[in-house]
Amino acid sequence: MTKRTPKHAETAAKAHTDLNIFYGVIALMEGGLLSADSYGDAERIIRLCKAAGAKCLARYDRAIASSQRT
C-alpha cells in the first residue's frame, strides 16, 4: 500500500512554486537588466506578478491552514 500525498500538501506545494516563479520574475524586472525604454512595460509586468503572487499566497495560506485542522 502506498501512502498518497494529502491534497492540501499538494495544493500548498503548487502555490509555493507559483509564488516563487512570480517573485522571481519581479526580481528580474527590478534588477536593472532593462533599458529605460522598457520601464513602463516592466512596471506593468511587476503589477501583474504582484497580483498573481497575492493569489498564490492566499492559496498557500488556505492549504496550510487546512493541513493544520484535525
| pLDDT per residue of the chain (70 residues) written in tens, 0 to 9 | 345 568 888 999 999 999 999 999 999 999 988 899 999 999 999 999 999 999 999 999 999 998 887 5
pLDDT at position 20, please? Answer: 97
Residues spanned by the domain of 57 = 7-68
Tell me whether residue 1 is in a domain: no
**Euclidean distance between the first and final Cα of the chain, in Å?**
23
For the chain, how many structural domains are there in total? 1
Q: Is residue 22 part of a domain?
A: yes
Residue 27 lies in a domain: yes
Q: Is 47 helix (H, G, I), strand (E, B) or coil?
A: helix
Does 2 fall in a domain? Answer: no
pLDDT at 60: 96
**What pLDDT is stored for residue 5 in this prediction?**
64
Q: Which residues contact 41 (CB under 8 A, 6 or more apart)?
A: none
What secondary structure letter does DSSP report for 52?
Answer: H
**Does the residue 37 lie in any domain?**
yes
